[in-house]
Amino acid sequence: MKTWHLSTKNTSYLFGLTDSGHLEHLHYGARLGVFDPLLLHEKMPDPTGLLLDEETKVSLEDLPLEFSTYGKGDIREAMVEIETADKNRVSDFRYVDDKVLDQPYAASDLPWAYGESKSIEITTRDETSGLTLILSYQVYERCDVLARSCRLVNTSDQPVVVHRLLSAQLDLDRNDLLWRTFDGHWAREREVHEKELNSGILINDSKTGTSSNRHNPLVILREKDCDEHRGVCFGLNLVYSGNHATIGEVNAYGKSHVVWGINPHSFAVTLLPGETLESPQAVLTFSDQGLNRLSSQFHAFINTHLIPRRWRSVPRPVLINSWEATYFNFNESKLMKLAKTAADVGIELFVLDDGWFSKRNNDLSSLGDWNVNLKKLPGGLKRLSQKIHGLGLQFGLWVEPEMVSPDSDLYRAHPDWAITIEGRKPTIGRHQLVLDCANPDVQDYLIHTFTDIFSSAPIEYVKWDMNRNLSDLRDGSHAHRYMLGLYRVLRDLTRSFPDILFESCASGGNRFDLGMLAYMPQIWTSDNTDALCRIDIQDATSQGYPLSTMGAHVSAVPNHQTQRVSPLETRFQVACFGVLGYELNLNELSAESLKAIQAQVSFYKEYRELFQFGTFHRISPNNQTNLTDWMVVDDDRSLAILLHFQDRAIANPTTQRLHPIGLDPETLYDFSNRPFDIDIGLFGDLINMVSPVRIKPDSLLHTVVRKMKVLHTEVEHGIADGKSLMAAGIKLKQSNVGGFSDETRIFPDGASRLYLFRKID
Ligand code: GLA
């Protein structure tokens, strides 16, 4: 049997050519050594199903395949469905030839990973229609990731309509997997859900025109006993930012079948003779060492093969964002005051968010009119940026290019540029319409307008926002053409401005995907900055995306999304596990809080490479207890930081123990906690247990005492080798036991600590 063996450091992907010319999937899992592929060949392909022909006895109903099509006996979800000129949708592509590519291949109009160690292409052909389907495989050897895609070439002499062209298929001879998805909405992105992948069909998809916060394209399949540290799991994702679908089922013979790619729902692309339609890259990874390993493989892939080369391993600046500090209500002097305080505490980048253009004093108007509001900023962006630079800060700017407000000069001049359907009232979202990025005139306009804006002042960072879903699409290809048009704009602008650090945003994380990451190395994870919610959101996001991609900000309390009050140090320590920023009015904080923030910023800067690019481990599976522990370890395992977070305090609790992982067993480590001050006000009336005079809570005296007397965090310190630390763990000092002494770990709701492990030379 002719076979193709795609191997990475620890995995093997194997498929072979059947006598009938079909591509039979043989294995995806642990790396194989010497192996006769016939041992994996399907021996009894469904004798009772439909037969392709009497002689060969090939039935497609149960044969594990590299791709399924409709109409010749394969009744599973197809990867490809094409309607030919005579209106029939049957196809049967068989092998023609294959080649190993010497030069890396990349689709010219889609985001694409780079730096593969091997790339192969297999050409297949449907005899009856004359169509050609080319399958591509790329191997990213060191990070145990593979990519798949396909392109359909209309080599016939008739137009055809493509109803589905998914990117990949995975057929596994087992029916014991759990199907994990990352679902949600605005401000509660990527909630983890699991179902059994069993008889019936499961679909994880988006029809919003974005990859969406409703269902992220990341899907994980795991064995039931696979956890963070052990067991078998598969990770699937897609390098695309629009409508996607992952469709899974288990067939009548107990085999799992999964296909994923652009959502086939309402999809229809006409392909003329000679034209080609290309699917985005699907990526897949396998781990038999649990979910942490699977995540690390995706992290390495994104950091080394996907984000723009210019930003690989480049430490990201600590920023202050004006949005929750001022909303639309600012002028130059207010911004400069914010920037000045930001500079004083060590922040490096000032980001001017929404509200700087035209009459944008609320979200009712002006998107599309990208001329500076000279009442707010009399010297324009240039003078503001120069002044910001004068404080030693970089300058960044918020834009939302894909949108237009009906109340804007742009819309009045070009109503036809918005996505609408003649005769139908368009659906509005956040008072805005979407510019039709599928229209080349709109693409040109966006490129020219934003080239001018990005050149108009010294700008080192851009937050590219997108705040509503698509609606009123005109035909089955529109959503995809929108994406291709947007990608053209992004390609052009990011090439013209390679030194601008772009951060993607879509009402927070409505477009947190591999497509956007190919142009913009970081994404605003969620508009929800509540530390307790962020624990869940960042924990889930980390399952498929590295910390270097996650914008994470410290914001005010009560939190603007949940009204919850969580400690400043926890807001910071959670945001450390991402790209740190601040998004609050620093000038309204007390001197003590500013001092604390100054210490935070300097701590993060000292360890930012570890936080952004270290190997990340989730230690306690989230949602199982009131505790979450995360850990980052640097490449040579000489430095690590562990976050210990408690969502809800328990009275008279059991001992809490840390279980560090990822350390070097042979290395001797110094272990200590990050110290900070704790507000004595936390104790309320309890302060009277130690005070010689009665202090009424919230009285003036209480305020004075709070200012004069601060408590310090407990001290935890010790020396041990990595092996012992990982085997025995570390018992922490007791908390919440009724009394209080220097030995007490003050650990109420929402408390957290960072613990450092430093190699002793
Ligand atoms: C979206 C973003 C926010 C902010 C506002 C501005 O909601 O997610 O961070 O930029 O838009 O209007």
Collect all residues with Cβ–Cβ distance below 8 Å to 384 and sequence separation of at least 6.
332, 335, 336, 352, 377, 395, 457
Cβ distance 201 to 250 under 8 Å? no
Instruction: Give catalytic status of residue 465 as yes or no.
Output: yes
CATH number 3.40.50.980 is the correct assignment for the domain at 309-613: no
**Distances, alpha carbon 100 to alpha carbons 103, 105, 121, 141, in Å:** 9, 11, 7, 15
- What is the Å distance from ligand 1's center to 402 Cα? 14
Domain segments of the chain: what residues? 70-301, 309-613, 617-676+713-759
223-256 pLDDT tens trace: 999 999 999 999 999 999 999 999 999 999 999 9
Short-list 234, 239, 247, 97, CA closest to 164: 247
Indicate whether residue 512 lines ligand 1 (CB < 6 A).
Answer: no
Mean pLDDT of the chain: 96
Residue 624, pLDDT > 60, answer no
Q: ∠ CA 720-723-727 to the nearest 5 degrees?
A: 100
Q: 3-class secondary structure for 25-49?
A: EEEEEECCCCCCHHHCCCCCCCCCC
- What is the Å distance from ligand 1's center to 561 Cα? 13
Cβ distance 218 to 237 under 8 Å? yes
Residue 129, pLDDT > 70, answer yes
Residue 422, pLDDT > 70, answer yes
Count of CA atoms in the C-beta half-sphere (13 A) of 613: 14
Helix intervals (H) in 42-198: none
Short-list 197, 189, 284, CA closest to 550: 189
Residue 2 structure tokens: 């002719």
Residue 509 structure tokens: 């994380």
Which residues is 639 bridged to in the sheet?
758
Which residues is 260 bridged to in the sheet?
168, 246
Q: Which CATH number fits domain 70-301: 2.60.120.580, 3.30.920.30, 3.40.50.970, 2.70.98.60?
A: 2.70.98.60
- Substitution candidate for ligand 1 out of 210, 326, 351, 353 with most atoms within 8 A of CB: 353
Indicate whether residue 527 lines ligand 1 (CB < 6 A).
Answer: yes
Q: Whose CA is nearest to atom 4 of ligand 1?
A: 323
372-416 pLDDT tens trace: 999 999 999 999 999 999 999 999 999 999 999 999 999 999 999
Residue 515, pLDDT > 90, answer yes
Residue 737: what pLDDT? 62
Residue 201 and residue 251: Cα distance in Å, rounded?
10
- What is the Å distance from ligand 1's center to 507 Cα? 6
Burial class (CB in 10 A: 0-12, 13-18, 19+), 717: exposed
670-693 pLDDT tens trace: 999 999 999 888 888 888 877 888
Collect all residues with Cβ–Cβ distance below 8 Å to 761 and sequence separation of at least 6.
none
Indicate whether residue 354 lines ligand 1 (CB < 6 A).
Answer: yes
697-749 pLDDT tens trace: 888 888 888 888 888 999 999 999 999 999 999 999 998 766 677 789 999 99
Instruction: Give catalytic status of residue 102 as yes or no.
Output: no
Q: Whose CA is nearest to atom 3 of ligand 1?
A: 507
Residue 534: what pLDDT? 98
133-148 pLDDT tens trace: 999 999 999 999 999 9
Residue 648, pLDDT > 70, answer yes
Check residue 576 and report its DSSP letter.
Answer: T
Q: Please give the full DSSP string across 641-698, using - where no structure is assigned.
A: EEEEEESS--SSPPPPEE---S--TT-EEEEEEPP-EEEGGGGGGGGGGT-SS---TT
- What is the Å distance from ligand 1's center to 524 Cα? 9
Two domains, one topology: 70-301 and 617-676+713-759: no
Q: Which of 87-96, 472-481, 624-633, 723-732 has the lowest mean pLDDT?
A: 624-633
Residue 623, pLDDT > 80, answer no
CATH code, residues 617-676+713-759 = 2.60.40.1180
Residue 622, pLDDT > 60, answer no
Q: Whose CA is nearest to atom 12 of ligand 1?
A: 354
